[in-house]
Amino acid sequence: MPTAKLQMALLIDGDNAQPSLTQSLLEALENYGRCVIRRVYGDWTADNMNLSGWPKIGETHAIQLVQQSRYTAGKNANDIAITIAAMEIMQSGKVNAFCIVSSDSDFTPLVMRLKDEGVTVIVVGKATTPASLVNASSVFISTDKLNGNGAEKPAETVVPPNPTKSATNASSVKPANPANAAKVASSASIPSASSTAKVSSTAPAAVKPAKTPNARPLLKRAYEMANKPDEWMGLGMLGHNLHQLDPQFKPQTYGHKGLSQLVAQYEDVFEVRTEQGKGNTAQTSVRLKKKKG
């Protein structure tokens, strides 16, 4: 579990969020801290299928349903209501972090304003959330990466096509007529002199693979932002600190799909422990190894 937990206000745009993801969302937020305020905004008097699932979810997870009537057709009053509420909560001093659940870029100014006050802002939205809102947040959690256990899945790595593998697969395809097999194999394996010359003249020079950067200094700085050397820090808090130091931080930059795999690489720096959480969830924590001698 994180050593220094955040006290969060969870503000959900009911028109712009999926009730079915609430359980996994709350479990994911446990990696960062505790939601001391939980609200979802919408016009509960309207005949809106997008809002129909929230009343039961609100009752199950102790989320307050805040009525926000639409005074003009086509206008989303939730944005203004959530903005006003966020500023009031911030002034109260009850929390040091916010979680805004919406994919609407109109919340970008609010997120920037809250960060100006020194609070952490986690944004939860679709993978198609505009870059302005994603980059403004302290931490962005994509709803497409939340699984049934509430943990965020590692970002998928896009692998470019492999010309060698493609050629191998192409040559392994059998022709429809077995009688032509020898002819096809012969023509495929013995290129003409002109084609050989063309390939050799246009083939690019071999490119050396880029060296994977060393994440050790950044990880240590992120750990030391809030912890004493002998204290355990949850991966959620470590990830938060890493994004504070480098908003563009991604484990893939250092050759790993997730933060847990990245930290495990540096056995000389960190001790790692994993504790069973609720259901099938698990909480991973790290701390600096003590120097021998």
In this structure, the answer to whether residues 111 and 31 fall within a common structural domain is yes
The number of domains in the chain is 2
Which range marks the domain in which residue 233 is found?
216-288
Q: Residue 154: pLDDT band by 50, 70, 90 thresholds? A: very low
Residue 165 lies in a domain: no
pLDDT at 204: 44
Residue 166 lies in a domain: no
In this structure, the answer to whether residues 234 and 141 fall within a common structural domain is no
Residue 21 lies in a domain: yes
Token pair listed for 271 = 């001790």
Whether 219 contacts 270, CB under 8 Å: yes
Residue 130 lies in a domain: yes
Residue 101 lies in a domain: yes
Of residues 34, 42, 52, the one with CA closest to residue 77: 42
Average pLDDT over residues 134-139: 91
Residue 258 lies in a domain: yes
In this structure, the answer to whether residues 25 and 133 fall within a common structural domain is yes
pLDDT at 35: 94
In this structure, the answer to whether residues 25 and 134 fall within a common structural domain is yes
pTM listed for this prediction: 0.52
Average pLDDT over residues 172-197: 42
The 3-state secondary structure of the chain, one letter per residue? CCCCCEEEEEEEEHHHCCHHHHHHHHHHHCCCEEEEEEEEEECCCCCCHHHCCHHHHHHHCCCEEEECCCCCCCCCCHHHHHHHHHHHHHHHCCCCEEEEECCCHHHHHHHHHHHHCCCEEEEEECCCCCHHHHHHCCEEEEHHHECCCCCECCCCCCCCCCHHHHHHHHHCCCCCCHHHHHHHHHHHHCCCHHHHHHHHHHCCCCCCCCCCCCCHHHHHHHHHCCCCCCCCEEHHHHHHHHHHHCCCCCHHHHCCCCHHHHHHHCCCCEEEEEEECCCCCEEEEEEECCCCC
Q: Which of 103, 125, 145 is the last residue of a domain?
A: 145
pLDDT digits (tens, 9 = 90+) for 202-233: 444 444 445 778 888 888 888 887 656 678 88
pLDDT at 49: 57
In this structure, the answer to whether residues 141 and 260 fall within a common structural domain is no
pLDDT at 9: 96
In this structure, the answer to whether residues 137 and 261 fall within a common structural domain is no
Q: Which of 145, 177, 203 is the last residue of a domain?
A: 145
In this structure, the answer to whether residues 19 and 128 fall within a common structural domain is yes
pLDDT at 70: 63
Q: Which of 120, 145, 170 is the last residue of a domain?
A: 145
Residue 138 lies in a domain: yes
Percent over 70 (pLDDT), the chain: 67
Name the least confident of 6-15, 21-30, 126-135, 251-260: 251-260
Residue 270 lies in a domain: yes
pLDDT digits (tens, 9 = 90+) for 105-117: 999 999 999 998 8
Better-scored residue on pLDDT, 35 or 216: 35
pLDDT at 213: 85
Average pLDDT over residues 128-142: 91
CATH code at position 28: 3.40.50.1010
CATH code at position 252: 3.30.420.610
pLDDT at 48: 64
